[in-house]
């Protein structure tokens, strides 16, 4: 579009950008009290705006983060959020313009990957994003959900007050580190905008912390909802649950399922390989409510992203990667247990950057990609080799909303 200008916004324009994105999600303008926290989420120079005839009509911004990858290290990731186009300016190609600038900005800032939690699954594939992690939403009936005796008993679980949570939760999350592929870094700005704001609003959810032999090693955050006809019983909505060690995970589940006056425990996001059903005497007391796309990934610097992760044992594989939106990523990559390098060798598998994002953390196997037409196989023996290389011990899981 000829009359659209895209540029990085000044700090003074961030609130208008927030409201444009908010309106696109059918939210009212932000209040002064909320903005006092939310403005901190925006680092200078990381919010983009699109202007038509000098009026801001669309926006998106980036948060600094990092993404845990197989092998236990982390790669610089920009978490893209606050994206929206004014309702009277959609389907004119404005967001496509913004995405081009956003990915260029992310590359210039040294991020290898842009991550998104998406509003609709139909938007981002065209820009080269693929589902990098998945999560499971669970519903449990605590009256039926007795834990089997051999499940680790875990350590102590204690409730902490909102003020304590302001320092304890960020420290504990940091301590957990990149404990599973897909987990992302939460900056101080994230904690202030997403957690301190809730605490200061007086609507702080309940926080329970698990302590094992080496100190605090996991936490859950939950709210309660009451149906009119449920008597004194409430529904527990678990909004945040992170723990690395199996004992801490089991200890926190035991705590949640042991709470009095609870008719249902709903957990929005848990790893897909966590066998909660198997912890229970009655397997069916835990039901998968939905299986969801969690974090979508978009490679900005594919060589850096491929080199950041560790690979399993397997014969080397040569991938031909196509990337229509960022052609700089396209090329042939030789991946082996030692790492990845660009090569002129002939490709054994051809894969789009979007499909590769689905395989990057092991969420989707190359065999499954082939089965759904997500890649082209030139050499059949490369498929099992690619799966040995890219497979991960734990299912990738993000569990952070931004």
Ligand X SMILES: CC(C)(COP(=O)(O)OP(=O)(O)OC[C@H]1O[C@@H](n2cnc3c(N)ncnc32)[C@H](O)[C@@H]1OP(=O)(O)O)[C@@H](O)C(=O)NCCC(=O)NCCS
* Closer to ligand X by Cβ: residue 25 or 393: 25
Q: Show Cβ contacts of residue 151 under 8 Å, excluding neighbours closer than 6 positions.
A: 250, 254, 279
Spatial separation of the C-alpha atoms in residues 260 and 351, rounded to whole Å? 51
Spatial separation of the C-alpha atoms in residues 118 and 371, rounded to whole Å? 25
Question: Quick check: 2 binds ligand X (CB under 6 A)?
Answer: no
Interface stretch with ligand X, choices 41-49, 80-88, 197-205, 343-351 (CB under 6 A): 80-88
Q: Show Cβ contacts of residue 134 under 8 Å, excluding neighbours closer than 6 positions.
A: 272, 291, 292, 293, 294, 363, 395, 396, 397
Question: Quick check: 47 binds ligand X (CB under 6 A)?
Answer: no
Tokens matching residue 366: 């190359």
With tokens 């290898």, the residue in question is: 112
With tokens 């600038």, the residue in question is: 101
Question: Quick check: 390 binds ligand X (CB under 6 A)?
Answer: no
Spatial separation of the C-alpha atoms in residues 256 and 222, rounded to whole Å? 9
| Of the candidates 120, 232, 208, the residue with the CA atom closest to the CA atom of residue 160 | 208
Shortest approach of ligand X to residue 190 CB, angstroms?
17
Nearest residue to ligand X, using CB? 95
Shortest approach of ligand X to residue 23 CB, angstroms?
9
How long, in residues, is the chain? 402
* Closer to ligand X by Cβ: residue 84 or 155: 84
Shortest approach of ligand X to residue 132 CB, angstroms?
15
* Closer to ligand X by Cβ: residue 23 or 34: 23
* Closer to ligand X by Cβ: residue 59 or 385: 59
Q: Which of 14, 17, 19, 24 touches ligand X (CB under 6 A)?
A: 24
Shortest approach of ligand X to residue 387 CB, angstroms?
30
Shortest approach of ligand X to residue 119 CB, angstroms?
4
Exposure string of 97-123, with b = 16+ CB inside 10 Å and e = fewer, is: bbbebbbebbbeeebbbbbbbbeeeee
Q: Show Cβ contacts of residue 72 under 8 Å, excluding neighbours closer than 6 positions.
A: 178, 310
How many residues touch ligand X (CB under 6 A)? 19
Identify residues 84-123 at the interface with ligand X (CB under 6 A). 84-85, 90-96, 116, 118-120, 122-123
Q: What is the x/- site pattern for ligand X, positions 309-348, by CB under 6 A?
A: ----------------------------------------
Contact set with ligand X (CB under 6 A):
24-25, 83-85, 90-96, 116, 118-120, 122-123, 126
């Amino acid at each position: 579009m000829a009359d659209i200008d895209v540029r990085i916004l000044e700090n003074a324009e961030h609130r208008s950008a927030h409201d444009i994105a908010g309106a696109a999600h059918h939210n009212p303008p932000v209040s002064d009290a909320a903005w006092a926290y939310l403005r901190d989420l925006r680092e200078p120079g990381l919010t983009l705006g699109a202007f038509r005839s000098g009026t801001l009509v669309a926006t998106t911004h980036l948060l600094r983060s990092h993404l845990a990858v197989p092998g236990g290290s982390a790669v610089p990731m920009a978490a893209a959020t606050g994206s929206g186009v004014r309702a009277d300016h959609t389907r004119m190609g404005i967001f496509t313009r913004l995405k081009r600038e956003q990915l260029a900005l992310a590359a210039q800032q040294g991020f290898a990957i842009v991550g998104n939690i998406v509003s609709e699954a139909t938007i981002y594939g065209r820009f080269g994003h693929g589902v990098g992690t998945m999560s499971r939403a669970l519903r449990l009936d605590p009256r039926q959900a007795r834990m089997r005796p051999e499940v680790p008993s875990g350590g102590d679980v204690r409730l902490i007050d909102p003020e304590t949570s302001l320092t304890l939760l960020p420290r504990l999350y940091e301590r957990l580190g990149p404990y599973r592929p897909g987990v992302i870094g939460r900056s101080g700005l994230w904690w202030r905008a997403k957690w301190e704001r809730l605490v200061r609003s007086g609507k702080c959810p309940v926080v329970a912390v698990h302590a094992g032999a080496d100190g605090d090693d996991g936490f859950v955050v939950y709210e309660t909802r009451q149906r009119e006809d449920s008597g004194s019983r409430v529904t527990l909505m678990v909004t945040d649950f992170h723990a690395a060690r199996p004992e801490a995970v089991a200890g926190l589940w035991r705590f949640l399922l042991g709470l009095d006056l609870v008719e249902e425990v709903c957990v929005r996001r848990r790893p897909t390989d966590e066998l909660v059903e198997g912890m229970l005497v009655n397997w069916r007391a835990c039901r998968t409510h939905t299986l969801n796309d969690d974090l979508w990934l978009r490679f900005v610097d594919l060589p850096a992203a491929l080199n950041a992760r560790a690979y399993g044992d397997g014969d080397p594989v040569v991938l031909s990667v196509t990337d229509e939106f960022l052609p700089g990523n396209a090329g042939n990559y030789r991946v082996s247990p030692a790492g990845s390098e660009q090569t002129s060798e002939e490709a054994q598998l051809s894969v789009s950057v979007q499909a590769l994002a689905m395989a990057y953390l092991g969420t989707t196997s190359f065999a499954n990609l082939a089965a759904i037409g997500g890649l082209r196989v030139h050499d059949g023996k490369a498929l099992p080799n690619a799966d040995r290389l890219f497979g991960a011990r734990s299912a990738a899981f993000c569990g952070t909303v931004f």
